[in-house]
Amino acid sequence: MPIQYYIFLALALFCIGVAGVLARRNVIIIFMCIELMLNAANLLLVAFSKMHHAAWMAKPAGIASPGADGQLFVFFIMAVAAAEVSVGLAIIVMMYRNTHSVDVNFLNRLKN
């Protein structure tokens, strides 16, 4: 498949994620949308990694097996996302205990 398909799919996922973060009021859903953004980037990285590797296979030159580092990056993003999830859910649970709500409109008390 041409690379454009992957780029458009990843960008569409990314935009859905951004729109969700900006528009939704439920913290859990905002959180899911952020994960969607990260996974769009993961998808794009894997696709580009394959693309660069294919380009290198067609004309081998320079460093050995380019494209491997793109897939490596995906693992790091997954690990970091997992760390973020654990911290983020803990924060949400902490907030829920105090307010009994997961609505983000709660976040305007500091404004004044």
Partner 1 sequence: MNAIILSAIWGVAMMFSGIFLTKGEAIRAAAILGLVVLLGVNIAELYGYRLFNIDTRGMLSFNSFSLVFNAVLFGCTLIYFLLSSKDILKVGTNKAEYFSLIFFVLSGVSIASSFNTLLMLFLGIEIISIPLYILTGSDRKNLKSNEAALKYFLMGSFSTGIMVMGIALIYGARGSFDIAGMNTAMQQGLNPLLLSGLLLLLISMAFKVSAAPFHFWTPDVYDGAPTVFTSFMATIVKAGVFVAFLRLFDGAYGSMSDKWKLVVVIIIAATLLIGNITAVFQQSVKRMLAYSSIAQAGFMFFALFSYNDLSKEGLLLYSAAYCLATTGIFAILIKMKDYTFDGFNGMGKSNPLLAATNTIFLLSLAGIPLTAGFTAKFYMLSSAIKTGTYGWLVILAVLCAAVSVYYYFRVIQSMYFKEGDSQRIEVSSSFRLGLVVISAIIILLGIFPQILFYKLYF
Residues within the interface to partner 1 (CB under 8 A): 3, 7, 10, 14, 17-18, 21, 27, 30-31, 34, 37-38, 40-41, 44-45, 48-49, 51-52, 55, 66-67, 69-70, 72-73, 76-77, 80, 83-84, 87-88, 90-92, 94-95, 98-99, 104, 106-107, 109-111
Tokens 């460093």 found at:
63
In terms of Cβ atoms closer than 10 Å to its own Cβ (0-12, 13-18, 19+), residue 36 is middle
Q: State which residue, 5 or 107, has the beta carbon closest to partner 1.
A: 107
Please, which residue, 5 or 99, has the CB nearer to partner 1? 99
Contact 50, 68 (CB under 8 A): no
Residue 45: count other Cβ atoms within 10 Å of its Cβ: 19
Cα distance between residue 39 and residue 45, in whole Å: 10
Smallest distance from the beta carbon of 80 to partner 1, in angstroms?
5
